[in-house]
Amino acid sequence: MKKMYLIALFLISPLMLNSAFAHQADSVGDYRIEIDWKNKPIVTGESNAIIVYVSVMDKTKEAADQEFNPDKGIDGLKKTLKIKLVVEEQFITLPLQPTDIPGKYESAITPTFSGWSQLNFLGKINEQNVNLALHPLKVQEQEVLQFPPVETTVVESGDFEREVNDLRGDIRELQQTINELKEQTEADDGIDGMIIAAIGLGIAGIAIGAVSLAKKK
């Protein structure tokens, strides 16, 4: 029974990670603030927008346990409330653009990062000062939308060094072969053509390998 529980926990955990790290709703005084992304999945390099919901808080429930109610939405925050999106040491301050739904605002942005970020609220809701940090859902790499998957041509530094060493080894072997063939010319004068052909093929092979490696790098 214990083993089955551990297996179930292992399978469910990855599904919960994204929501666990995302802090998308909270309260400030009498108000509830919730955030979301307009387009999902959230993918780096794709046009998107941060959605902000501001409404009167139902204090009988936690902020995360209630849904946005447009009947309690707060309008008129375009000039008094801004959001700052923080990614590592960089940030951008975005204005809130009202929508047709009371209390719902949008801030257009194209995320060029992947991973987690933080959204800081600056300003006021009516007379309430706001100093709040929330965490949007994770931005994913473009591979999640690619089909069929695109094979990368990037070579890791360790693999690149190994391929360079292989080319160096091929050059040494070619030089050794040339020296051996030169020694045999004393016994058979007709072997000169074979030497030239062998050298040409060897150089061509190494050149092809070098060009392929350069493209990967």
Predicted confidence (pLDDT) per residue in 164-178, tens digit: 667 777 777 777 777
Instruction: Give CA–CA dist 116/93, Å, rounded.
Output: 17
| 26 in Cβ contact with 130 (< 8 Å) | no
Whether 54 and 31 have beta carbons less than 8 Å apart is answered as yes
- What is the pTM assigned to this prediction? 0.62
Tokens of residue 68, six digits: 């946005």
DSSP state at residue 38: S
- Is CATH 1.10.645.10 the right assignment for the domain spanning 21-143? no
Q: Give the whole-angstrom CA distance, residue 145 versus residue 127.
A: 44
Q: Over 70: is that where the pLDDT of 162 sits?
A: no
Tell me the per-residue pLDDT of 131-161, one tens digit each, with 9 for 90 and over. Answer: 999 999 999 998 887 778 776 655 555 656 6
Handedness of CA 168, 170, 175, 176 (dihedral sign): positive
CA dist 173 and 167 (Å) reads: 10
The pLDDT tens digits of the residues spanning 28-65 come to: 999 999 999 999 999 999 999 999 999 999 999 999 99
Question: CA-to-CA distance for 34 and 61, rounded, in angstroms?
Answer: 14
Rounded CA-CA distance 20/10 in Å is 15
Q: Is the pLDDT of residue 217 over 90?
A: no
